[in-house]
Amino acid sequence: MSRLGALWEGLMGRGQPRPANPSSSRATRPNEYRVFTKAHDREVRLTDLDSVLGPLSATEQGMFELRKQACSVGLAQWQAEANVKALAWRNKLARLATQADREATCVTILLDLSGSMRDQRIMTVRGVLEVVGIVPQALGIQFEILGFTTVRWKGGLSRRQWIDAGKPHWPGRLNDLLHVVIAEADVHDSARLAKLDQLLRLDLPKENIDGEAIEWACARLMSRKASRRALIVISDGAPVDDSTLQANDLDYLGDHLKSVAAAVQSDGQIELFGVGIDYNPSRFYCDARKSSSPDELLEALFGVLNTLFAPSSSVDLESTG
């Protein structure tokens, strides 16, 4: 979350007056969510980030290697213990659902790659996903990991195009989306999770436009042959893109996320879960879980899998032994 987003969230949380609505003197806000242009949006595999962000410089590459090493060393002991828990969860889930039911289930994890997720948070998520990811793969569950951010800060080419057009009122979303396919559902080799190191690139996290990311993830889910579909959104805060909020109003992206989440939950074809990192996402998701440590994030994600196959049962790990 950017500085403006943090200020907004902080003010709302304390019940203080919010910043003035930048559109208060304009025409009434349109009912529909708008996108000024999609011409500069990109979708890319995690391993092909250079094609969008450019190659890392020598200095950036050095920092990237240090981050990978810090993540590997810092989480080594935790991951060893977590892998034991993962084995217990795998055994429990194997008992809860038949192989046919598991193979007819598709689960997508959608990861917020905003600026506030960098450093410790993304290292934690990267380590947890490496542990969690092997379980659905071993059980035959269709499983993919997606991420969302923006190509640039401060609106990028979309904002420049809006400025060139004379800054029309209520332009809608004003940044260049970057949707990242982190691990594809159709790729089953174990090496795919080793590629998660690319999440540690310093040039990857930027702004987060959650509503459109959920629509993208849902479209991918609906294209798959499955009788049960689930989407788990991991985020550390409300959607924020400074350019969009300044040109529209401070509720613009949050209202769209609410609308999209409500539509998905009402439709019922996809089960939607929100998992917060040091954040309670209940404002947006009916099934919301908060985590503040690697263990809590691991429990939250395995808890979702448990819910899919045994909605009325306990998720206490003691029962997985």
Domain ranges in the chain are 3-7+40-320
End-to-end CA distance of the chain: 39
CB-CB contact of 137 with 22 (8 Å)? no
User: What pLDDT is attached to residue 72?
Assistant: 85
Q: Is the pLDDT of residue 247 over 70?
A: yes
The pLDDT tens digits for 184-233 are 887 666 566 667 999 999 999 999 999 999 999 999 999 999 999 999 99
pLDDT band at 119 (very low <50, low <70, confident <90, very high): confident
pLDDT in tens, 146-197: 999 999 998 999 999 999 999 999 999 999 999 999 998 876 665 666 679 9
Place of tokens 């991951």: 79
Check: CB of residue 289 under 8 Å from CB of residue 300.
Answer: yes
SS3 256: helix
Q: CB atoms < 10 A from the CB of 55, how many?
A: 9
- 228 beta partners: 105
236, 121 contact by CB (below 8 A): yes
Q: What is the CA radius of gyration of the chain?
A: 20
Looking at the chain, the whole-number percentage of residues with pLDDT higher than 70 is: 86
Integer CA distances (angstroms), 75 to 70, 89, 90, 123, in order: 8, 20, 21, 9
Per the structure block, which two tokens stand in for 80? 């060893």
319: pLDDT strictly greater than 50: no
β-pair partners for 45: 181
Say what the pTM is.
Answer: 0.87
DSSP character for 198?
G
Both tokens of 216, joined, read 């993208």
Q: How sure is the predictor about 29, in pLDDT bands with cuts at 50, 70 and 90?
A: confident
Q: How confident is the model at residue 310 (pLDDT cuts 50, 70, 90)?
A: confident
CATH says 3-7+40-320 is which class? alpha beta
Strand order across the beta sheet in which 105-112 lies: 42-45, 177-183, 142-150, 105-112, 228-235, 271-277, 288-291
Q: Centre a 10 Å sphere on the Cβ of residue 42 and count the other Cβ atoms it contains.
A: 14
